[in-house]
Structure 1
Amino acid sequence: MPSSLNLDSYKQAIADSYDRRSSTYDEGEWRKLICEHLLSYSQVHKRQAVLDIGTGTGYLAIAVAKKVGSQGSVVGVDLSSKMLNQARSKVKEIKLSNIQFQLADAEKLDYQDACFDYVLCANTFPWISDKETTLKSWYRFLKPGGRIAVHTPADTAYVGSVVLRRVLATHNIELEPSNRLGSIEQCKELFATAGFRNIEIKQEQHGRYISFESASAYWKSIVEAPTALSLKISDDISQCSPTQLAEIKSEFEAALVTQQTEEGIWDNLTTLYVLGQKPDVNQPSSYKDESQ
């Protein structure tokens, strides 16, 4: 098990970000809700071997370990060593013996073929750079008939990001080139291309009204702060003069103002849960859409 990873600047920024948040990460209820919904949709059961991608502090992995029982097993992987330290402390405290955590890049995993019954991925898939290639590798790790369950925000989620992306595009600056899957149809196509069948898209709306200040904070977190997302646009942004940046920021804030209501700005938090299966030679494949 490696004690460190050789990461590019984008992945290192992600790891650093989660390292900084590791001690308070479990205070947020939103990420736990995502894990609970994903687990419910996945229908993991006893004696299964499960791979949890982007396990973080182990919230989902621990819930899965309890579900698969002593004859099942869970491997949780993550880029952040400090998040994994939190996860290991939890497991030690509750004395679970069917779970292990590994420091690893989800895009460079090297497990044997057909060694897992289930691959789960909550709160992580948007960070994957090469989604098609990575899905194909996860597909390879699954046993015939094995299943996958992945959470991702819809491309309409997080109003500050959506509006900023649209404004930046008018200046030929691309935001989040790899983070969003796009439409539900594009999402289905991606998983089908990776080889998955019996694809289902579960859709939930967790939207809420937020303040103008909360929505406009995306400018600082994406354009000004040294985060993983800002690294993806840093080259283009660096070519902008202070005057140009001020103009873009003004356009962004003006666009948000047009969405202001008495209740606030609607933050569309449409969330997708993508379920798929590796075909079993003894089972006919089908292609489902159960969006709801």
Structure 2
Amino acid sequence: MSNQAELDDYKQQIADWYSRRSSNYDNGDWHPRIAHRLVEYAQLRSGQQVLDIATGTGLVAIEAAQIVGDEGKVIGIDISTGMLEQARRKVKELQLSNVEFHLADAEALSFPANSFDCVFCSSALIWMSDLLASLRLWHHFLKPGGLLGFHAFADRAFVGGVVARKVLAKYGVSLLFNQPTGNVEKCRNLLQTAGFKAIDIQSEEDSSYISLEQAKGIWSNGLYPVPGQFPNPLLQLSPEKLAQARSEFDAELEALQTEQGIWNDITIFYAFGRKAA
């Protein structure tokens, strides 16, 4: 793989956005915790070959590499140079020799068929331009009996996004966010249609109270980029309408505030499917 990836405008926006976030992406324990749970559910074994899609700072890839050992190998791919810099720095500090990272588009990979025992996609499936085509491509890379695992989030997850979607719908703007994978049945149907068998989806709640400022944060970058939608659907609104919608968004969140903060539902689906043996 080359050190360059040919990205369309949509994916370049995503890459740039994650690169800007890369220095503090690992702050806190939430991302590491859910990455660990995804790997834990997969029950990797020594010697296995693993592909980590949208590897980010390498949270899944590094843990997988430590499990599969020197007889195994992990390849992590991402479109964000900033995130990959963080991943490579961590691998160097840990002196791991069985994991490598490449700048690559998850929807334009060219690995041989039947290359991997396991393919992961942590928290990134909804960013794909075509979810079903992506799953079919990754299915092709799996060995017979190989396992795919991804995170998805309920359509009610992340209060800022839920309120933004509700408010903007009144202005004729439809936001997808987590809706394509927003419940267990949707995740199951995607995996089945992509050809996966032995589907297993675990649902876990990781909800908590957050501050009003945190809840409003989703709008801090103008909801930009928007998962699975390009161009940004907010561009159809005039500046006046957008300001009005933002005011309504703020008011709705303020009405949800309690002494503890604002309840932020984060229901996570750990979705797995196997390639037929």
* CA distance in 2: counterparts of 1:18 and 1:235, whole angstroms: 17
Which residue of 2 is the match for residue 288 of structure 1? none
SS at match of 1:157: coil
Describe the shift of the 1:260–1:26 C-alpha distance in structure 2 as closer, same or farther (beyond 3 A): closer
Say if 1:173 and 1:233, in contact at 8 Å, map to a contact too. no
Instruction: Give the C-alpha shift of residue 132 in structure 1.
Output: 0.2
Say if 1:119 and 1:149, in contact at 8 Å, map to a contact too. yes
Describe the shift of the 1:170–1:40 C-alpha distance in structure 2 as closer, same or farther (beyond 3 A): same
Describe the shift of the 1:65–1:231 C-alpha distance in structure 2 as closer, same or farther (beyond 3 A): closer
Which residue of 2 is the match for residue 161 of structure 1? 161
Asked whether 1:47 is paired with 2:21, we answer no
Cα distance per residue 1:144-163 (max 9 Å; x no partner): 11011101222111001011
Which residue of 2 is the match for residue 56 of structure 1? 56
Which residue of 2 is the match for residue 132 of structure 1? 132
Say if 1:175 and 1:233, in contact at 8 Å, map to a contact too. no
Which residue of 2 is the match for residue 279 of structure 1? 276
Which residue of 2 is the match for residue 175 of structure 1? 175
* CA distance in 2: counterparts of 1:75 and 1:231, whole angstroms: 25
Say if 2:128 and 2:228, in contact at 8 Å, map to a contact too. no
* CA distance in 2: counterparts of 1:18 and 1:155, whole angstroms: 22
Cα distance per residue 1:6-56 (max 9 Å; x no partner): 111111111111222223322232110111110111111111111011111
Match of 2:225 among 225, 228, 237: 228
Which residue of 2 is the match for residue 247 of structure 1? 244
Which residue of 2 is the match for residue 32 of structure 1? 32
* CA distance in 1: counterparts of 2:146 and 2:123, whole angstroms: 21
Cα distance per residue 1:40-94 (max 9 Å; x no partner): 1111111111101111122221111110111111111111122222222322333
Cα distance per residue 1:91-123 (max 9 Å; x no partner): 233322211111101111111001100001112
Describe the shift of the 1:195–1:260 C-alpha distance in structure 2 as closer, same or farther (beyond 3 A): same
- Report % sequence identity: 45
Instruction: Give the C-alpha shift of residue 143 in structure 1.
Output: 0.7
Match of 1:260 among 257, 260, 263: 257
* CA distance in 2: counterparts of 1:124 and 1:187, whole angstroms: 14
Task: Please tell me the root mean square deviation across aligned C-alpha atoms, in Å.
Answer: 2.0
TM-score (norm 2): 0.92
* CA distance in 2: counterparts of 1:231 and 1:126, whole angstroms: 6
Asked whether 1:113 is paired with 2:110, we answer no
TM-score (norm 1): 0.88
Number of corresponding residues = 277
* CA distance in 2: counterparts of 1:29 and 1:59, whole angstroms: 11
* CA distance in 1: counterparts of 2:124 and 2:78, whole angstroms: 9
Unaligned runs of 5+ in 2: none
Instruction: Give the C-alpha shift of residue 200 in structure 1.
Output: 1.0
* CA distance in 2: counterparts of 1:92 and 1:155, whole angstroms: 38
Describe the shift of the 1:241–1:62 C-alpha distance in structure 2 as closer, same or farther (beyond 3 A): closer
Describe the shift of the 1:55–1:200 C-alpha distance in structure 2 as closer, same or farther (beyond 3 A): same
Unaligned runs of 5+ in 1: 281-292
Cα distance per residue 1:239-271 (max 9 Å; x no partner): 433332232223223332443333222100111
SS at match of 1:56: coil
Say if 2:177 and 2:226, in contact at 8 Å, map to a contact too. no
Say if 2:161 and 2:177, in contact at 8 Å, map to a contact too. no
**Aligned AA for 1:126?**
I
Larger Rg: 1
